[in-house]
Amino acid sequence: EDKVVQSPLSLVVHEGDTVTLNCSYEVTNFRSLLWYKQEKKAPTFLFMLTSSGIEKKSGRLSSILDKKELFSILNITATQTGDSAVYLCAVEDGNKLVFGAGTILRVKS
């Protein structure tokens, strides 16, 4: 059965800290891996990764994929309270996205 596992389940940090969120996966028909941010509403897209070893960056966020070891990480540097959210990892498997349970990040001021 396809599965996506995220760790840690939850994390509390102080503003300015750097965090690393992990996502490992086992899917039959991998096409891409996506990261989303969810703040009590619609998940909003962050990154899509298809190739190993190529880092994607957007401001303080970056992500990389390792297709050999079947995992991805999402880094957030200099965290701010506005980064508090659930971060979802999803893997594209044919017609559907297979989501992990998410990592709850809380950034304290």
Q: Residues in the site for other proteins, rule: CB under 8 A?
A: 4, 6, 31-32, 34, 41-45, 48, 88, 90, 92, 94-102
Q: Are 89 and 42 a contacting pair, CB within 8 Å? A: no
If the CB atoms of residues 41 and 68 are measured against other proteins, the closer one turns out to be 41
Give the number of residues written for the chain: 109
Contacts of residue 46, Cβ cutoff 8 Å, sequence gap at least 6: 34, 35, 36, 37, 58, 61, 63, 74, 87
If the CB atoms of residues 17 and 30 are measured against other proteins, the closer one turns out to be 30
Closest distance of CB 31 from other proteins, Å? 8
The 3-state DSSP class for residue 61 equals strand
Quote the tokens at residue 77: 């540097």
Closest distance of CB 102 from other proteins, Å? 6
If the CB atoms of residues 6 and 79 are measured against other proteins, the closer one turns out to be 6
Closest distance of CB 4 from other proteins, Å? 7
The 3-state DSSP class for residue 48 equals strand
If the CB atoms of residues 33 and 107 are measured against other proteins, the closer one turns out to be 33
